[in-house]
């Protein structure tokens, strides 16, 4: 066993904390043990989590690439969104590790038969992520199955309406409807199915929030003024999306690509949203 691992054990013993150590133990293992296993350390204050509306999209990254950033972001209260990362590593492995650093939005965009949805959600409920996404176009029955299977947990079922990467032509190609009409139709079905919230573009959130004020609204395609749009077609600034009713704002490259991700989160919160970081 390395000296630094024994050093961790001795240091925590002085504080009355019995920290188990093992060969190959990392700082991540220490944090996970203190936060999840022993309960003697908070990943973040509840106040910070309650006031931070930013969801950081961890797309296209490996665990080794995102771990240093996760450790920095841990105390900010950001929600962590994963999709391809969860598929690549398996959410049974990913969720316990990610939960050390923040609430997790499992962006699987589930779209399958009811039995498969039930089986998947049974596995998800063990880990209690903040939310899981389903495609509203998968049907009312499919969404009802997700809601029913996750009942009794704190996990929200968020229904994805029309992807923010869809422009009008793509939406008409896929759904034979304009984005606005399709979003409104899917939102109604999601509400009837008991979904806790909706994922929609900045263009629809104001009207949807008016119709369904009790639902949680997650809005992708959020960029600060002057920031690159990337592959998003329907976008807004953090201030615009928040003023129109968004509860949570999905931001990825702007935060992860910043020289100091924590300072960028704090800047968006204070300068653009008027929230004390």
User: What are the residue ranges spanned by the domains of the chain?
Assistant: 1-41, 46-272
The pLDDT mean for the chain works out to: 91
Q: Which is more confidently placed, 132 or 276? A: 132
- 156-195 pLDDT, tens per residue? 999 999 988 888 899 999 999 999 999 999 999 999 999 9
Give 192-238 as a DSSP string: HHT-SEEE--HHHHHHHHHH-TTSEEEE--B--TT---TT-SS-B-H
pLDDT at 21: 77
- 28-44 pLDDT, tens per residue? 888 888 888 777 778 88
Report the SS3 class of residue 160.
strand
CB 268 within 8 A of CB 224: yes
CB 183 within 8 A of CB 204: yes
Sign of CA dihedral 50, 51, 52, 53: positive
**With respect to CATH, is domain 46-272 assigned 3.20.20.70?**
yes
From the list 11, 61, 109, 148, the catalytic residue is 109
Specify the pTM. Answer: 0.89
Assigned token pair, 157: 């079922």
pLDDT at 232: 58
pLDDT over 70, % of the chain: 95
CB 117 within 8 A of CB 146: yes
Cβ-based neighbour number of residue 215 at 10 Å: 20
**In the annotation, is 109 catalytic?**
yes
Mean pLDDT, rounded, for 62-89: 91
Torsion of CA 110, 116, 121, 126, to 10 degrees: -130
Say yes or no to pLDDT of 133 above 90.
yes
Q: Helices 114-125 & 140-149, crossing angle to 10 degrees? A: 30
- 188-214 pLDDT, tens per residue? 999 999 999 999 999 999 999 999 999
Q: How far apart are CA 244 and CA 235, in angstroms?
A: 13
E strand spans, the chain: 54-57, 79-82, 104-110, 131-135, 156-160, 197-199, 216-219, 248-251
Q: Angle at CA 195, nearest 5°, toward 190 and 201? A: 65
Q: Which is more confidently placed, 113 or 230? A: 113
pLDDT at 43: 85
Say yes or no to pLDDT of 1 above 60.
no
């Amino acid at each position: 066993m390395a000296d630094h691992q024994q050093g961790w054990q001795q240091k925590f013993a002085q504080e009355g904390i019995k920290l188990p150590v093992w060969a190959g133990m990392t700082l991540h293992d220490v944090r996970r043990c203190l936060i999840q296993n022993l309960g003697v350390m908070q990943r973040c204050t509840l106040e910070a989590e309650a006031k931070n509306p930013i969801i950081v999209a961890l797309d296209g990254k490996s665990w080794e690439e995102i771990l240093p950033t996760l450790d920095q972001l841990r105390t900010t209260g950001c929600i962590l969104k994963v999709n391809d990362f969860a598929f690549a590593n398996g959410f049974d492995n990913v969720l316990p590790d990610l939960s050390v650093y923040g609430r997790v939005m499992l962006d699987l965009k589930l779209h399958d038969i009811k039995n498969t949805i039930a089986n998947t959600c049974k596995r998800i409920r063990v880990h209690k992520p903040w939310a899981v996404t389903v495609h509203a176009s998968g049907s009312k029955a499919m969404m009802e199955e997700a809601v029913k299977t996750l009942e009794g947990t704190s996990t929200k079922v968020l229904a994805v309406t029309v992807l923010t990467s869809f422009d009008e032509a793509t939406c008409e190609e896929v759904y034979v409807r304009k984005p606005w009409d399709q979003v409104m139709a899917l939102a109604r079905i999601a509400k009837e199915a008991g979904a806790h919230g909706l994922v929609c573009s900045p263009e629809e959130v104001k009207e949807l929030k008016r119709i369904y004020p009790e639902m949680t609204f997650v809005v992708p395609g959020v960029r600060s003024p002057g920031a690159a749009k990337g592959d998003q077609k329907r976008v807004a600034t953090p201030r615009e999306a928040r003023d129109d009713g968004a509860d949570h704002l999905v931001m990825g490259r702007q935060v992860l690509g910043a020289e100091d991700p924590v300072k960028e989160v704090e800047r968006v919160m204070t300068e653009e949203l008027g929230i004390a970081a």
